[in-house]
Each structure stands twice: as structure tokens, then as C-alpha cells.
Amino acid sequence: MPSSKPPIPPPSIAVFPTLSPPEKTFIFHQISVLTLTFVAYASFHVSRKPPSIVKSVLSPEINSNSTDAGWPPFNGPLGPHRLGELDLAFLASYSIGMYFAGHLGDRIDLRLFLSFGMVSSGVLTVIFGLGFWFDVHKLGFFLTVQIVCGLFQSIGWPCVVAVVGNWFGKSKRGLIMGVWSSHASVGNILGSVVASSVLEFGWGWSFVVPGMLVMLAGGFVFCFLVVSPEDIGFGSQINEIEMGVDNTEKVVDKAENEEVGLLGSETIESSDAIGFFEAWRLPGVAPFAFCLFFSKLVAYTFLYWLPFYIRHTAVAGVHLSHKTAGILSTIFDIGGVVGGVLAGFISDKIEARAVTSVAFLLLSIPALIIYRLYGSMTMFLNIALMSLSGLLVNGPYSLITTAVAADLSSQSLKNSRALATVTAIIDGTGSAGAALGPLLAGYISTRGWNSVFLMLIISVFCASLFLIGLARSEIKTKLSEGKWLLFSSLVH
């Protein structure tokens, strides 16, 4: 049944009436939503980056009996193990929380839910940093803070994807979301720079400053984010605007299928939130979810351990400083920005998300091998190979968590309230892999980094296996329709 609650516009609409239509157009608000959600999720990643930056300070020597400074209980021979457990605490609670967050996100005000998650996760990030000044050395304290912070951080992703899904139809979704999904990499870059820049003043600052930034961004989201076009009176105009984007007979014929779900149509079906287990049964959800499990395992191992790896691996015979290693690790995320945009563009062009994802995954295997073998020879090779690895690893990760999730919810159901649930299932399953990867890296790294890279390569291969069936189906469908031979479609 349709909801009896009227839409709740943000406070900015009441304070600044000129932000409402017709003074501001639909496109203006689309850009505003993209910008606000971009900033929102980028800020989440800014506050997620400090643990990786301070690892080499908390546990300064690996495979060594040195008594140099560290921070108990993370120093000493078992330091990397404790750091891996810390990552597991955060990412496991994040993964579990994701399922609940998606379920709630389809049922309550997304603006309030998202801003609450941002402010709360910012507070927990600051509390972690306060352990420096209060001289806290209890593992239980840090684990508890990370567990609670992970729960609040899990609110972010289902909310931002659902809001963007409310404002954008299927046309150019892969490219739009490819550009938009660079927020994670941009947040990682900013988080690395900010946390590394203040690290010399004490590792606590590497948490306090990012925590304050995500709280500030949460305030902007609360004041300005418009969750749905209907909230400010666009209503039936949405379908007409979206139809105008693809003004062809094909789009008109498929209007009913394309408009439902993401365009906010007020039908009986669109008012009922989808059940958790019902969403799992949607075609394609399980394969993409388990693919993301392994894909995100790789991406988050780099997110949490790359600065540590760079710090303890000589580049051209020279060991880099903590600050330089942290900033250099942003090259991987810069490659990830390009990879997300490129994967989105290619998948739009060939109209095949699974084929695009498999191609990127398989190409990332030799890229990782080459990076491990030759990345330490010169700084130029290190930067070039790290950026290439980031491009190929993060490309399918970004595509699956954005455009694919939106496609699955809109194509499989006439339901505008399925998106947060489907997104939570896919990214929640992926986050389980994200929790496992850094933990394994913490233990395996004590045996040598070749073992860590072997784990990453096996994970990438497993990720591609889950999409082989879908990729074959996409190829058969396109060939039977006479639409493309794969390479020819890229040219035209």
C-alpha cells in the first residue's frame, strides 16, 4: 500500500525556496544529488583510511625482534596479526550491518539515516584517535570502537546508491555511476593525504581530523540532500525527462520496463519494500554478490595493507618514510578512479556488465604478478604498475557495487524500494570478503609478501568464475540479436 507519510524535504528547501522547482530544474537537482552523495561516501572512505596509514607506526618492524618504538598491543612479532584482527573487527561488523542497513534504508527516511550514520561514524573515528592521548593499550578498546564504527559505516552505501537510483534511469547508468563511484578512490586518496600529513604530530591526529571531516559532511547531507524527485514536487515529470534522454522508438517501447524501480513511479508494487530472501532470488544477485566477495577481498587488502607493504619493501633499494609510503599508496586509488569510469563506459557501450567485469578481473591477474616482480625496481615502474593494478582491480568492484546493483533491482522488479536491499546484499556479501582479506594478509605477510600476492591472484580468479555463466549468456544474447561482435561495438 502507498505510504501515508508525506515526503520530507531537507531544511534547505524551507530556508532557500529558490531551490525548489520551477526555479531550479530537474537536472540541477540531479547534479546536486550526485555531488552530495559523492561527498558523503568519499568522507566515509576518508575516515576509513587512517588504520592503514598508521599500521607502520603502531607496528614499526615486521619479521624483527627489534625493540624500537611501537604501540602495544600492536608492536612486536605478533603486531601484524593484531592489526589484521582490528581490520576484521571493523569489516565483519560492517558486512553484517550492511544487511540490516539495506533493509532499514528501504523503509525510513534516507536523508536522516545517512546523516546519522555519517556523524556517528565520525564520532567513533575520533574516539579511536583519543586512545593516543589517553595512552590506551587495551586491544579490547580498539576492537570495540572498530566494531561499533563498522556498524555505523554500513549505513552509507545502501543509502547513497538508493538515492542516486531514485534520480537516474538506466540511460548511461554505467558511465554516470562509473564517474560517481570514484568517490571511494577519491576518499581513499584524501584520507591517505590527510592522515599522512598529520601523522608526524602523533598517530591520534590521523583519526581525529578525518573523523571531524565526515561529521561536517554529515551536516551538509542533513541540510541539503533531496532523497527523491517527488519530495520537491517533480512527480510525473520524471518519466518525461528520462524519456527525453533516449528519444527513440526502442525506449518508448520499453518505457514500462525501464521506468519502474529507479524513476519513482507511485504504483502499488513500488510502495512495498522487498523482502531480504526475496531479493536474494532475483536473477543475477547471487553471482554478482559472490563475485564481489572475492573482488572486494582484493581491493580492501590493498586499502588496508598497501602503505604497510610499501613501507617495508625497498623501492630502488631505498625504504620510504611512513609519510611518503602513505601518500604513494594513493597511486593505486588514482588508477581505481580511471578503472571505475572506464568499466562503466565500456559496459554501457557493449551493454554487458558481466563481460566487462570478467575482462577486467582476468587482466588484473598478470598486472598483480608484474607489480610484485618488478614494482620495486624503480620508482617509475612502481607508480606505473601500481596504477595499472588499481585500474583493473577497482574497475569491476566499482561497476558491480553501483550500476549492476541498480540494474538488478530495476530490471527484475517493478519496485522502487528494492534498490537499498539489493545493494546491501551485494555489497554486504562483498564486505564479508573485505573483512577476510586484510585479516589473512596480516597473518600471511609474516611468511612473505609472495604468499599475500598469491592469495590475491587466487581470489581474483575465483571472482571471475562466478561471472562466467552470466558473461556467456550476455554474449549469446547480443550475438543472437545481431547487436555486436564484442570488439566491433567498441569501435563504433
Lookup result for grid cell 586491544: 139
For residues 59-83, give the mean pLDDT: 74
CA dihedral 236, 234, 102, 147 (to 10 degrees): 170
Is the per-residue pLDDT at 249 higher than 80?
Answer: no
Q: What is the pLDDT of residue 263?
A: 28
pLDDT for 226-238, tens place per residue? 998 888 887 645 5
Closest-CA residue to 404 (of 469, 330, 470): 470
DSSP string, 334-384: HHHHHHHHHHHHHHHHHT-HHHHHHHHHHHHHHHHHHHHHHTTT-HHHHHH
C-alpha separations of 449 from 200, 313, 428, 455 in Å? 27, 9, 28, 10
> At residue 33, does pLDDT exceed 70?
yes
pLDDT digits (tens, 9 = 90+) for 52-67: 999 989 987 644 444 4
Amino acid sitting at position 409:
S
Cβ atoms of 360 and 336 closer than 8 Å: no
Angle at which helix 183-198 crosses helix 26-48, to 10 degrees, equals 40
**Is the peptide bond preceding residue 73 cis, with omega within 30 degrees of 0?**
yes
pLDDT in the model for residue 288: 86
| Mean pLDDT, range 272-298, rounded to an integer | 81
Three-class DSSP category at 153: helix
Mean pLDDT of the region 170-187: 74
Confidence (pLDDT) at 451: 95
For residue 9, what pLDDT is reported? 85
Residues 6+ apart with CB under 8 A from 65: 77
- pLDDT tens per residue across span 126-171: 999 999 999 999 999 999 999 999 999 999 988 998 888 788 765 5
Task: Give mean pLDDT, residues 308-336.
Answer: 91
- Confidence (pLDDT) at 454: 96
Distances (CA, A) of 225 to 18, 78, 111, 219, 316: 15, 45, 6, 10, 48
Q: With a cut of 70, say whether residue 43 has pLDDT above it.
A: yes
Angle formed by the axes of helices 79-105 and 110-133, nearest 10°: 160
Question: Would you place residue 175 in the very low, low, confident or very high pLDDT band (cuts 50, 70, 90)?
Answer: low
Domains for the chain: give ranges and CATH numbers.
Answer: 7-61+69-233 (1.20.1250.20), 274-491 (1.20.1250.20)
The most confident of 177-181, 204-208, 319-323, by mean pLDDT? 204-208
Taking residues 20-41, report their average pLDDT: 92
**What band does 456 get if pLDDT is binned at 50, 70 and 90?**
very high
State the Cα–Cα distance between residues 205 and 410, nearest whole angstrom: 43
